[in-house]
Chain A
Amino acid sequence: MSGVTNISQYSRYNARVARSRATSEPAWIRWALIAVSLAFLTLFLFVPLAAVFTEAFRKGYEVYLNALIEPDALSAIKLTLIAAGIALPLNLVFGVSAAWAIAKFEFRGKSVLITLIDLPFAVSPVIAGLIYVLIFGLQGWFGEWMSAHDFKVIFAIPGIVLATIFVTFPFIARELIPLMQAQGKDEEEAGLVLGASGWQVFWKVTLPNIKWGLLYGIILTNARAMGEFGAVSVVSGHIRGLTNTMPLHVEILYNEYNYAAAFAVASLLALLALVTLALKSFIEWQTARQASDNEKLAEE
């Protein structure tokens, strides 16, 4: 459901096919198609992206900076980092573990398991928040017990972390499963035969093989974790300075008609998105290069 393309698909990416005249279009059609496509992307992508930064600096550099260093903004940034900092390693361990079980072993119900791992992509973020309210909220399963023990999940940080884990749940697993399936298990078995322990094989053989795919999954998880809005919005309670993440802070400022500040905080998130895309392109370029190197080696 992520629509995230696997990097393995990019391995043949830069091999451009030289085309003869019979299988290409006249120049005017080519340029017309390019123009229509770029016009579409401009209306829906480039203009909104440019608007974020223009609106952010509309009232000048000082207003921009002040919007970022006021205490509520700083606490929102801190909470966003905390939520992503907890969700990311947990989903990382899960992703590697799920990919190991699914890619290296045969068992019944494997395809069902893969579908279930995809579930969070199919669920509306609002519902992702709702499910934790049903369990940990005051009226929820553990509501009474938790209020008796003065332990809060909903309208508190644990709820925000849980919602973040849910919405980023499949990313790393989805990235690693096809990659590790394609690699098979010959190298690991060779390592074991040569006397290495299971962990040694994992650290020295498997991990170097999957490092780019892993990194790809990590940056996608991180981007989504820091930017999640709907799910976090349900469980947060919007308490300023306490349970506001950056996207929620943007919403509050925007609803108070404080547009310059809202776009200032939004511009940080947009910058994060651009860095994510740049890293993503870099990893795709790396894996494509590696794949073409391997092909050359195989030919020799």
Chain B
Amino acid sequence: MATTIRKHRNVLPGFRLSLGYTILYLSLIVLIPLAATFLKTAELSFAEFWAVVTAPRVVASYKLTFGASLLGALINAVFGLLTAWVLVRYTFPGKKIVDALVDLPFALPTAVAGIALTAVYAGNGWIGSLLEPNGIKVAFTPLGVVVALTFIGLPFVVRTVQPVLQDLEAETEEAAASLGANRWQTFRKIILPAVWPALLTGFALAFARAVGEYGSVIFIAGNMPMVSEITPLIIITKLEQYDYTGATAVAVVMLVISFLLLLAINGLQWWSSHRHQASR
């Protein structure tokens, strides 16, 4: 039996060892600790859980967190696509440096980003001092949260769209042009549909990252309850008051949403890569 099943028997060694170690390490570091949040929340009755996660201050924080994340991801979708386009199609002095710096939000520690953005966008900062006389306050308002979350998500759209634009065949665009389409029509009918799955993936990645973000936001947000307090900060505040079950209940809500986002992103990436390969 065994020999017929293993027709293409793999001769490489180390399968059991490597898979076993992978699963063990994954369980110890990630799965069991994450399960702890659900077990801790199970100490609450459903009514208690519901009361904690729908308290007005918590609901206000969801609105801010998801609203600002959505806005940041939208800004990134528009300007990220533009930036990817400019980096792939055009040449200009300093392009290589600009290309490398797009990844700065991945590499710069979030606390550093937070204090830098606050310094720049505060009333006496370089950009804040230009905006404030015109009645636009950024730092210590919900708008500041949007700025921080835009910064954090900036590389995602650029880096998912860039390779797709790179691989786009010139022939289809030439065909469109020879059939009489102008550049805008070619962009809308040929290029945009081709990059659409990648654009959506980048958008979802930026959104998911923004939802959980903490470090860059708390400095610029001002953290006023009901106004500029994000959900991760609610968890920290509850922890500092030793309200472990309350903190965990809110964390479970965020975890469930994050898992759903992860599944959606996996689906999008699958779609994107299949489209990408089919177009070659």
Interface residues of A (CB under 8 A from B): 1-5, 9-10, 12-13, 17, 19-20, 22-25, 30, 33-34, 36-38, 40-41, 43-49, 51-52, 55, 93-94, 97-98, 100-102, 104-107, 113, 115-127, 130-135, 137, 139-141, 162, 165-166, 169, 185, 188-189, 192, 198, 201-202, 220, 223, 226-230, 233-234, 246-248, 250-251, 254, 259, 262-263, 266, 269-270, 272-274, 276-278, 280-281
Contacts and interface: CB of A to CB of B under 8 A. Distances in A.
Given A122-B259, A125-B214, A49 B116 contact: yes
Nearest to B234: A126
15 contacts: A3-B159, A34-B90, A36-B79, A38-B98, A40-B83, A106-B10, A119-B34, A120-B30, A123-B255, A124-B232, A140-B36, A230-B213, A230-B215, A266-B116, A273-B108
Nearest to B166: A12
A273 B104 contact: yes
Contacts of A123: 34, 212, 255, 258
Contacts, number: 304
A166 B30 contact: yes
B22 A126 contact: no
A270 B112 contact: yes
Interface string B213-252: 1110001000000000000100110010010100110010
Nearest to A21: B177
B154 A192 contact: no
A278 B30 CA distance: 31
B244 A137 contact: yes
Contact of A122 (B25, B108, B170, B262): B262
A19 B104 contact: no
A134 B248 contact: yes
Q: Secondary structure at chain B's binding surface: helix, strand, loop or mixed?
A: helix
A266 B155 CA distance: 21
B74 interface: no
Nearest to B178: A22
Given A37-B86, A227-B108, A280-B100, A125 B174 contact: no
Top-9 shortest CB links A-B: A227-B109, A124-B212, A229-B215, A198-B13, A230-B214, A22-B177, A273-B107, A131-B33, A101-B19
Contacts of A246: 109
B19 A130 contact: no
Nearest to A2: B106
A115 B266 contact: yes
B33 A134 contact: yes
A133 B23 CA distance: 23
Contacts of B160: 3, 5
Contact of A266 (B13, B112, B151, B202): B112
Given A123-B34, A123-B212, 19 more contacts: A2-B106, A4-B106, A22-B178, A45-B101, A45-B154, A48-B116, A55-B119, A94-B21, A98-B22, A101-B19, A122-B259, A131-B33, A140-B36, A192-B12, A227-B108, A227-B109, A230-B213, A246-B109, A247-B215
Given A3-B209, A254-B219, A189 B11 contact: yes
Contact of A228 (B21, B101, B109): B109
Interface in B87-131: 89-90, 92, 96, 98-113, 115-117, 119-120, 125-127
B141 interface: no
A105 B150 contact: no
A17 B170 contact: yes
Contacts of B13: 192, 198
